[in-house]
């Protein structure tokens, strides 16, 4: 392998641990042990000096050589359905922050909820020799998880749970229960839910919690609007048009994702319905736009960044030989204008 070249065309030699050892008057083995530890954990004067010299010389570790020695790459693959989702972006920030604290790096693989793409990108992750995989795009019936299990790669699900696989998620079912109880207090009319995709179990659990609670109280529950339509604003708009056509106002609407909820809220107002009078709307997740729209969206708050941190930490425990349990983080309801009676708003 050739050395990199400088601006004058001459080759620049890679700074090695031997160079640092010579400058620090230390053994190469001491330098190796020092640089393999987190910098903040170094307490000795000699160790701190080694790190200072490494910075001064512009040392960067040879990751390929390191992975050959240790049979690890310090690389984690993170599978997500799409990159446009703010919720997953916040989860990923938590994942990256936690992994970096432990010397790991991430590679993000976007699959578009396409089973064939999932399998193809799993092959990429395996070829890269990742130490573990975090799946944020688990789908009912997917062939990816059996394959990664067979390959013996440590993995964990986040965002979307699946029975039989360890996961870190929020209490999706409980969030649906909260939405139902809130809307039942506001209107005697029908209570409808936009379920979105039936292959994503987090969304299935949200709608299930809602529908079960409504029916247990002897209320009319309407489901299935625009099933498998997606979780974005345009999907919420289409679902809202169906709700308006089939439900007599006033009614309560639970949309299992905030982005779709904001789209639905806009469509309700364009159709002439008044939120807080003709329709009461609840979303899920509390994305940044939920409180910034002209009519702020009532929603179920989920701890996205915290969830990412915990998912990464749990995966590292598995990589280290541990056996963490699945976790559901608590959620809470935050009430805003979309479900506040107009009389109270004024």
d(CA 18, CA 26): 9
Residue 18 in tokens? 């031997």
Q: Is 43 exposed, middle or buried (0-12, 13-18, 19+ CB in 10 A)?
A: exposed
Q: Is 57 in contact with 91 (CB distance < 8 Å)?
A: no
Its pTM stands at 0.80
d(CA 175, CA 211): 12
Mean pLDDT across 4-11: 40
pLDDT at 64: 47
Q: Is 322 in contact with 339 (CB distance < 8 Å)?
A: no
Confidence bin at 13 (pLDDT 50/70/90): low
Confidence bin at 10 (pLDDT 50/70/90): very low
pLDDT digit string, tens, across residues 201-213: 999 999 999 999 9
- Residue 31 has φ and ψ, to the nearest 5°, of -60, -45
pLDDT at 3: 39
Tell me the CA distances in angstroms from 145 to 138, 162, 204, 228, one per residue in order: 8, 10, 19, 22
pLDDT at 27: 86
- Residue 33 has φ and ψ, to the nearest 5°, of -65, -40
Residue 107 in tokens? 């590679």
pLDDT at 62: 55
Residue 321 in tokens? 């030989």
Strands (E), 197-341: 221-222, 251-255, 279-285, 298-301, 327-329, 332-334
Given the DSSP bridges, would you call strands 155-158 and 298-301 parallel, antiparallel or unpaired?
unpaired
Q: Is 105 in contact with 135 (CB distance < 8 Å)?
A: no
d(CA 100, CA 108): 14
- What percentage of residues in the chain have a pLDDT greater than 90? 69
Mean pLDDT across 128-143: 94
d(CA 195, CA 257): 9
pLDDT at 226: 65
pLDDT digit string, tens, across residues 259-297: 999 999 999 999 999 999 999 999 999 999 999 999 999
Residue 12 has pLDDT above 50, yes or no: no
Supply the mean pLDDT for the chain. Answer: 89
Comparing 39 with 280, which gets the higher pLDDT?
A: 280
- Sign of the C-alpha dihedral, residues 20, 25, 27, 31? negative
The β-bridge partners of 132 are 76
Residue 187 in tokens? 């209107």
Residue 117 in tokens? 């793409």
- What percentage of residues in the chain have a pLDDT greater than 70? 90
pLDDT digit string, tens, across residues 223-260: 766 666 899 999 999 999 999 988 889 999 999 999 99
- Say how many CA atoms lie within 13 Å of 269 toward its Cβ: 15
């Amino acid at each position: 392998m050739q050395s990199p070249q400088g601006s004058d065309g001459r080759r620049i030699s890679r700074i090695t641990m031997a160079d640092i050892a010579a400058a620090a008057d230390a053994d190469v083995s001491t330098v190796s042990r020092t640089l393999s530890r987190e910098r903040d954990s170094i307490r000795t004067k000699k160790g701190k000096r080694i790190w200072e010299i490494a910075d001064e010389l512009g040392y960067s570790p040879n990751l390929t050589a390191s992975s050959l020695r240790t049979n690890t790459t310090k690389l984690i693959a993170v599978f997500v359905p799409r990159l446009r989702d703010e919720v997953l972006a916040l989860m990923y920030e938590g994942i990256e922050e936690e992994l970096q604290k432990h010397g790991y790096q991430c590679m993000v693989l976007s699959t578009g909820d396409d089973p064939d793409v999932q399998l193809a990108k799993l092959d990429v992750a395996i070829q890269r020799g990742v130490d573990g995989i975090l799946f944020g795009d688990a789908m009912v019936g997917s062939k990816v998880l059996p394959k990664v299990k067979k390959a013996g790669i440590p993995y964990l699900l986040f965002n979307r749970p699946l029975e039989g696989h360890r996961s870190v998620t929020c209490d999706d079912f409980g969030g649906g229960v909260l939405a139902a109880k809130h809307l039942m207090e506001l209107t005697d009319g029908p209570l409808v839910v936009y379920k979105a995709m039936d292959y994503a179990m987090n969304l299935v659990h949200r709608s299930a919690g809602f529908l079960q609670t409504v029916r247990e109280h002897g209320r009319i529950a309407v489901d299935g609007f625009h099933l498998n339509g997606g979780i974005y604003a345009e999907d919420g708009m289409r679902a809202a048009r169906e709700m308006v056509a089939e439900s007599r106002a006033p009614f309560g609407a639970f949309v299992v994702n905030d982005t779709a909820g904001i789209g639905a809220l806009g469509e309700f107002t364009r159709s002439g319905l008044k939120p807080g009078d003709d329709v009461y709307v609840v979303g899920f997740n509390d994305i940044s736009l939920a409180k910034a729209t002209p009519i702020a969206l009532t929603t179920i708050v989920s701890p996205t960044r915290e969830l990412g941190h915990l998912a990464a930490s749990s995966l590292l425990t598995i990589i280290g030989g541990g056996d963490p349990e699945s976790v559901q983080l608590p959620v809470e309801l935050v009430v805003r204008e979309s479900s506040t009676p107009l009389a109270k708003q004024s």
